[in-house]
Amino acid sequence: MCKRMEGRIALITGGGTGMGAAVARLFAKEGAKVAIMGRREAPLKETIQKIRSEGFEASYFCGDVSKESDVPNVITKVNELYGPVDALVNCAGVINSQPEEPVEMTGERWDWLMDINAKGIFHTTKHVVANMVKSSKKGTIVNIASTCAHQASPGYATYSASKGAIIAYTRVIAAQYGSYGIRANCISPGVVHTPMSYVEMPNFDSRIPEFDRAHPLGRIGQPEDIAYAVLFFSSDESSWITGQDLIVDGGWTIGD
Given CA atoms 20, 21, 22, 26 in this order, what sign does their dihedral have?
positive
What is the rounded average pLDDT of the residues 96-120? Answer: 94
Residue 183 near residue 141, CB atoms below 8 Å: yes
Q: Give the pLDDT mean for 12-35.
A: 98
Confidence of residue 1 (pLDDT cuts 50, 70, 90): low
Phi and psi at 187, nearest 5°, equal -120, 130
Quote the pLDDT of residue 16.
97
Separation of alpha carbons 58 and 10, rounded Å: 9
pLDDT of residue 25: 98
Closest by Cα among 189, 162, 168 to 105: 162
15: exposed, middle or buried (C-beta count within 10 Å: 0-12, 13-18, 19+)?
A: buried
Q: What is the pLDDT of residues 3-12, one digit of tens each?
A: 999 999 999 9
What does the buried/exposed string (b/e) look like for 128-165 if buried means 16 or more CB atoms within 10 Å of the residue's CB?
bbebbeeeebebbbbbbbbbbbbeeeeebbbbbbbbbb
Q: How far, in Å, CA of 122 to CA of 126, rounded?
A: 6
Residue 105 makes CB contacts below 8 A (sequence gap 6+) with: 157, 158
For the chain, percent of residues with pLDDT exceeding 90: 93
Q: How far apart are CA 16 and CA 35, in angstroms?
A: 11
Q: What is the reported pLDDT for 97?
A: 83
Q: What is the pLDDT of residue 148?
A: 95
pLDDT in tens, 67-85: 999 999 999 999 999 999 9
Using a 10 angstrom Cβ sphere, with 0-12 exposed, 13-18 middle and 19 or more buried, the burial of residue 126 is middle
Q: Is position 159 annotated as part of the catalytic site?
A: yes
User: For 9-239, CATH number?
Assistant: 3.40.50.720
Quick: pLDDT tens for 27-52: 999 999 999 999 999 999 999 999 99
**Annotated active-site residue in 60, 82, 159, 177:** 159
Model confidence at 239: pLDDT above 90:
yes
Return the pLDDT at 256: 58
pLDDT score for 2: 81
Residue ranges covered by each domain of the chain: 9-239
**pTM (predicted TM-score):** 0.96
The stretch 43-62 carries a mean pLDDT of: 97
Q: What is the pLDDT of residue 200?
A: 76
Which pLDDT score is estimated for 255?
A: 72
Question: Residue 96 has what pLDDT?
Answer: 87
The DSSP code sequence of 22-49 is: HHHHHHHHTT-EEEEEES-HHHHHHHHH
Average pLDDT of the chain is: 96
Give the residue-averaged pLDDT of 111-122: 97
* Max Cα–Cα distance, the chain, nearest Å: 56
**Tens digit of each residue's pLDDT (9 = 90 or more) over 189-223:** 999 999 989 987 899 999 999 999 999 999 999 99
Q: How many H-runs (helices) and E-runs (strands) does the chain carry?
A: 9, 7
